[in-house]
Amino acid sequence: MSKKVLVVDDAAFMRMMLKDILTKNGYNVVGEANDGNQAVEKYKELSPDLVTMDITMPEKDGISALKEIKQYDPSAKVIMCSAMGQQAMVIDAIQEGAKDFIVKPFQADRVIDAISKTLS
């Protein structure tokens, strides 16, 4: 059975790009969210195998959403997505339990590499 992925990003274009990369590589994108609050709700509703989480979003940022998801499910697998120059936030995210991070603009091979390592 293909792995279920929740894609979280406030930019519809970024969600579409990630969804495209994931579906082409056999992953099942079960949901999308455009802010941290939606991400937490969808996580509880869909129980995905993996979440790709943007760091910078309105309402609730990716790190806050990551903390909430990890409180709800300590075994949650979350990969952070960041723009260049967000190293400090990426380090915070890893300390909060993110498994890996991918940098925008996305490179398909790096995305799939991070996901397959996290899910193995």
Mean pLDDT value across the chain: 96
Tell me the CATH number at 90: 3.40.50.2300
Q: In what order do the strands lie in the sheet with 78-82?
A: 28-33, 4-8, 50-54, 78-82, 100-103
Mean pLDDT in residue range 61-77: 98
Q: Provide the residue range defining the domain that includes 103.
A: 4-119
Counting the structural domains of the chain, the total is: 1
Structure tokens at 40: 């937490």
Over 80: is that where the pLDDT of 1 sits?
no
For residue 94, give the amino acid letter. Answer: I
The pLDDT of residue 69: 98
Question: What's the average model confidence in pLDDT over 1-24?
Answer: 96
Return the pLDDT at 51. Answer: 98
Which pLDDT does position 76 carry in this prediction?
Answer: 98
Give per-residue pLDDT as tens, 82-97.
887 778 899 999 999 9
Rounded to the nearest 10 degrees, what angle do helices 62-72 and 87-95 cross at? 10
